[in-house]
Structure 1
Amino acid sequence: MSWHIAADVKLENDRVCLRPIEKSDRPDLAVIASDPDIWRYFVQRIDNEEDLDRFIALALDDTRAGRRVVFVIVDKSTGRLAGSMAFGNLAAAERRLEIGWSWLGRAYRGKGINRWAKYLLLEYAFETLEAERVEFKTDVLNIQARKGLANIGATEEGVFRSYNYMPDGRRRDAVYYSILKKEWPIVEAGLREHGKLSAPASVSAAA
């Protein structure tokens, strides 16, 4: 199965909808991306209009080329864009991929949206793409993200020291987490129970 199909899908449950990013999303993204707290541990920052244009252009280019699949997250309770999340480091031959590049606007944090969005991506990765391993990485200093990954059931694997440069010149230590296919049933049950997800997730072709 080609993993390029992920660039053409819309994923949703009763809480959130994920669909591939579009150029027309720029005005809504501009509203929520102006908070500098979002980018504190990000390797790419949005500080001005030009940064936002570069962010969207790269997301579109990567999605078209199959390097990543960048989604926008829609909060179904409001119908508004809440943030973004992506599949990346797609290694179809090894049945391995990464979920990351995750951020939410300030008004959407702490409301379960991150958990519900990751549930949809994990479900699609394991049950449609038939991945054997889904991995995550974050800055070792990003305690909130690390707690979030632990809370969804990901296993911490270790720290890659001096992994990459950050925009301010700091060398980041990156900590890796993963979920394996054999672990998915237990992780899924925990996500559904904690997130109080009632309606089954659906997958459809993006418009």
Structure 2
Amino acid sequence: MSRAPWSHSASTVLRNEHVELHPVAETDREPLRRIAFDPQIWTYFVSRVENDHDFDAFFDALLADHASGRRVVRIVVDRGTGQVAGSSSYGNLAEADGRLEIGWSWLGADFRGKGINRWVKYLLLSHAFEVLGAERVEFKTDVLNDRARAGLSKIGATQEGVLRSFNPMPGGRRRDAIFYSVLRSEWPSVEDQLRRFGRATGSGT
């Protein structure tokens, strides 16, 4: 069966009863701004958002990356409240190799610890494997980011290895990046794990 190019997925809205993921648009600027000024969000990001100038530069980069196809940027909406909760992206799209990365993910303080992150990952993984036909979905994070590492392990991603001195961080530190992945052959068991957790808790974690 032939499939549309991955770039066509940029206009796709993904949703279930818990979350909606829609393509980033200018109308998302102010809803995101309202939840962005939380230092905890940016501790392990390669950029910082500390004031309006920082935020506008960050948001402009989201729009530019999405428009150019460098990333497929989606805005996360908590369907329980109808509020914008954060964002997440597909990036490093290597369609010829059947590989992409899920990352650039963050949630505002009021939306963390409520299952939203798991449902976001579920929708993005499902779309990657079942619609785009990906063979490998990868994630990377700072080796010091224990919360993100625990979350990736909980969704069933496999830890692979550390790439030392991967990139510079604000403040001058060079980040060691740790990679995780889910393969197409592993998706059925990962999907089942995510669904079972959701049924057991009503939302996730």
Interval of TM-score (by shorter of Structure 1 and Structure 2) = over 0.9
The aligned residue for residue 128 of structure 2 is: 125
Query: Residue 188 of structure 2 corresponds to which residue in structure 1?
Result: 185
Q: Deviations over 1:40-96 (max 9, x none)?
A: 000121111111111111111111111101111000000000111000000000010
> Counterpart of 2:70?
67
Residue in structure 2 matched with residue 159 of structure 1 by the alignment: 162
3-state SS in 2 of match to 1:196:
helix
CA deviation profile, 1:110-164 (whole Å, cap 9, x unmatched): 0000000010000000000000000000000000000000000000000000100
2:25 to 22, 27, 33: 22
Q: For residue 106 of structure 1, report the CA deviation from its aligned partner.
A: 0.5
SS of corresponding position for 1:162: strand
1:10-36 CA distance string (max 9 Å, x none): 000000000011111111111110001
Following superposition of structure 1 onto structure 2, how do residues 13-162 of structure 1 map, counting pairs within 5 Å? 13-162=16-165
Alpha-carbon shift at residue 196 of structure 1 (Å): 2.4
4+ residue segments displaced more than 2 Å: none
Question: TM-score if structure 2 supplies the norm length?
Answer: 0.94
Equivalent-residue separation in structure 2 for 1:45 and 1:178 (angstroms): 26
CA distance, structure 2, for counterparts of residue 175 and residue 30 of structure 1:
29
SS in 1 for 2:75: strand
Once residues 198 and 116 of structure 2 are traced to their aligned partners in structure 1, the CA distance between those partners, rounded to angstroms, is 9
Structure 2 CA distance for aligned equivalents of residues 51 and 21 of structure 1: 18
- Shift of residue 6, structure 1, vs aligned partner: 1.4
Distance 1:195 1:50 in 2: 38
Q: Which runs of 5+ in 1 are unaligned?
A: 198-207
Which letter does structure 1 place at the counterpart of 2:50? D
Cα separation, 1, equivalents of 2:52 and 2:77: 22
Determine what percentage of the aligned residue pairs are the same residue.
58
Per the normalisation by structure 1, the TM-score is 0.93
Give the SS at the match of 2:13.
strand
In the TM superposition, residue 167 of structure 1 has moved relative to its aligned partner by 1.3
Higher RCO (Cα < 8 Å, 6 or more apart): 1
Structure 2 counterpart of 1:64, which letter? A
Moved more, 91-100 or 44-53: 44-53
Q: Secondary structure of 1:29's partner? A: helix
Partner of 1:204: none
* TM-superposed deviation, 1:175: 0.2
Flag structure 2 segments of 5+ consecutive residues without an equivalent: 201-205
3-state SS, counterpart of residue 113 of structure 2: coil
